[in-house]
Chains A and B, each alone.
Chain A
């Protein structure tokens, strides 16, 4: 290209050799990256669908509408519907607190928020069992009021809250740190109440990051296995979320059923990815 427009400039042979070496190196890296990604991610994901549809669309569909599987889908959606709003409110509140106020324990809070990311979900599940189970102080106290905390929806929701609580806050904190409180203070001097300021100034500024965090949290709620497995008690047709149902079907030697259910989870993952990249494309500066 350059040689066409600037014919008089002759490239130094060393530069030509350097460029060639760069090209080879880059080509090799691209090849490795693509091959590795295909092997590690592409092929397994394709295999899920291949196995699920192996016996035809009709068999796939009967497996999906199997009452226990349908119930598992419903339970998973219900859990997400309960967990996400709480998560969003918590995330906004914590991000607000951390970016707008200085208080003792602020650094500790900032660190604790990250805890669910670094702790193994199964350990989290066991902790919840220990604290809220029937033999614990809280568990037996709740039991007196005929409230069961573990081995039911409550347990699943509690532990899902634990594993997802960082998502929204983590997206919001860096954004709210950068955007600062100038706009909020301006709103106050213009006569807006705290709520009006939040509703008309803060929220519009953080809405994309909020949505982004919520989508990630949603994917995690719907896909969580370890923690939920411990506290759900694995009661068939009662406390089986979709990931647990996949495991159950597989253990029952119903591989087609397991993979059919797995396609639903995979679909959720794909939708999550698409929404994520849509948000990133629309608001590149936010992420």
Chain B
């Protein structure tokens, strides 16, 4: 059991954004947190990342309790909605950042770092962009750089916060497949936050549908369509049935 989320609760002031959320994911599994805005999915992702901390509940990864562990020690690669690329660094330096920041004892030397960055850029098919700066990249290219940078730290888990929302529809569809392929190749689990049903259904092994700070249902795309657990789920997924029936899905 890779990631285990137990009774996670979070308040902003008096406003409860997460209400005893439970979720467990398998090694190498691709999970989507799907829900309308304000459903708490981004808060949950940020708590998993260690950028925010829960007011109640427990997080564990591979048996280790990480509820209060610093983000920098979790080794969870994160792709931000804005991509959050370091604007003053070239693509190569962006990707190398995580390796360069390691404590001296387990920091690879310069040659090793540049080898690894080179390999990662090749794998993400952006090797020709190495010397460019983020401002010289298209949206799709930025997203690939952000993903590559997150993978460079050899993460134990990949966290994706609406990574497609800034892209136009055409680029979006192409990159979905690329993301899924890359995740499979690296062989780590991934959690994708999205409000786009189609995106979640196409990419994820299992989908957690969230509303009002709770997980309404957590299941495979097929089971969600076949037997929605609550009226909210069936309403939220309305229209997806025909999408699936048309064979456009997985």
Contact of A189 among B78, B82, B85, B87 (CB under 8 A): B78
A residues 181-219 near B (Cβ < 8 Å) are 182-183, 185-193, 196, 200-201, 204-205
Q: Is the CB of B78 within 8 A of A191?
A: no
Given contacts A183-B84, A186-B80, A200-B101, contact A193 B51 (CB under 8 A): no
Nearest CB of A to B53, in Å:
13
On whether the beta carbons of A201 and B76 are closer than 8 Å, the reply is no
Proximity string of chain B (72-115) to chain A, C-beta cutoff 8 Å, 1 when within and 0 when not: 11111110101011111000000001100110000000000000
Q: Are B82 and A182 in contact (CB under 8 A)?
A: yes
Number of A interface residues at 8 Å Cβ cutoff, please give it: 17
Known contacts A182-B80, A193-B72, A196-B101: A188-B88 contact under CB 8 Å: no
B82 touches A190 (CB 8 A): no
Q: Provided the pairs A185-B71, A191-B153, A193-B72 are in contact, do residues A205 and B101 lie with their beta carbons within 8 angstroms?
A: no
User: Which residue of chain B is the closest to A205 with respect to CB atoms?
Assistant: B88
Q: Which of A180, A185, A186, A190 has the most CB of B within 10 A?
A: A190
- A189 B101 Cβ-Cβ under 8 A: no
Q: Which residue of A lies closest to B75 (CB)?
A: A191
Chain A nearest Cβ from B85, distance in angstroms: 8
CB-defined contacts of B153 to chain A, threshold 8 Å: 190-191
Contact across chains for B84 and A191 when beta carbons are under 8 A apart: no
User: Which one of A182, A185, A190, A193 lies within 8 Å of B97 (CB-CB)?
Assistant: A190
* B70 (CB) vs chain A CBs: closest residue: A188
Most chain B beta-carbon neighbours within 10 Å: one of A186, A192, A196, A200: A186
- Determine whether the beta carbon of B51 is less than 8 Å from that of A187: no
Kindly list chain B residues whose C-beta atoms are within 8 Å of the C-beta of A190. 72, 77, 97-98, 101, 149-150, 152-153
Within the complex, what minimum Cβ distance (angstroms) separates A195 from chain B? 10
How near does chain B come to A176, taking the closest CB pair, in angstroms?
14
B98 touches A191 (CB 8 A): yes
Given contacts A185-B84, A205-B87, whether A191 and B49 have CB atoms under 8 Å apart is no
Q: How far is the CB of A18 from chain B (nearest CB, A)?
A: 42
Q: Which residues of A contact B86 (CB under 8 A)?
A: 183, 186-187, 200-201, 204
A189–B88 touching, CB < 8 Å: no
The CA of A156 and the CA of B80, in the complex, are separated in Å by 48
Question: Which residue of the partner chain, among A180, A186, A205, contacts B78 with CB atoms under 8 Å?
Answer: A186
User: Contacts A182-B84, A183-B86, A201-B86 given: A189-B77 contact, CB under 8 Å?
Assistant: yes
When C-beta atoms are compared, the residue in chain A nearest to B74 turns out to be A189
Is A191 a contact partner of B102 (Cβ separation < 8 A)?
yes
In the bound assembly, the distance between CA atoms of A183 and B94 in angstroms comes to 11
When chains A and B are docked, how far (Å) is the Cα of A180 from the Cα of B88? 15
Chain A residues whose CB sits within 8 angstroms of the CB of B84 once the complex forms: 182-183, 185-186
Minimum distance in angstroms from A175 CB to a CB of chain B: 12
- Do the beta carbons of B101 and A185 come within 8 Å of each other? no
Bound complex: CA A204 to CA B85 (Å): 13
Tell me which residues across on chain B come within 8 A of A189, comparing CB atoms. Answer: 49-51, 71-72, 74, 76-78, 150, 159
B75 near A185 with CB under 8 A, answer: no
Known: A182-B80, A182-B82. A192 touches B97 (CB 8 A): yes
Most buried by A among B50, B70, B72: B72
Q: Whole-angstrom distance between the alpha carbons of A215 and B221 in the complex?
A: 60
> 15 extra interchain contacts, Cβ-Cβ under 8 A, other than A192-B98, A205-B87?
A182-B82, A182-B84, A183-B85, A185-B51, A185-B71, A186-B80, A186-B85, A188-B51, A189-B72, A189-B78, A190-B72, A190-B98, A191-B153, A200-B86, A204-B88
Please name the 5 residue pairs, one residue from A and one from B, whose CB atoms are nearest each other, closest first.
A190-B98, A182-B84, A186-B84, A192-B101, A189-B78
**What are some 24 contacts across the A-B interface (CB < 8 A)?**
A183-B84, A183-B86, A183-B87, A185-B51, A185-B80, A185-B84, A186-B78, A186-B85, A187-B86, A188-B50, A190-B72, A190-B98, A190-B149, A190-B150, A190-B152, A191-B72, A191-B101, A191-B153, A192-B72, A192-B97, A192-B101, A193-B101, A200-B101, A205-B88
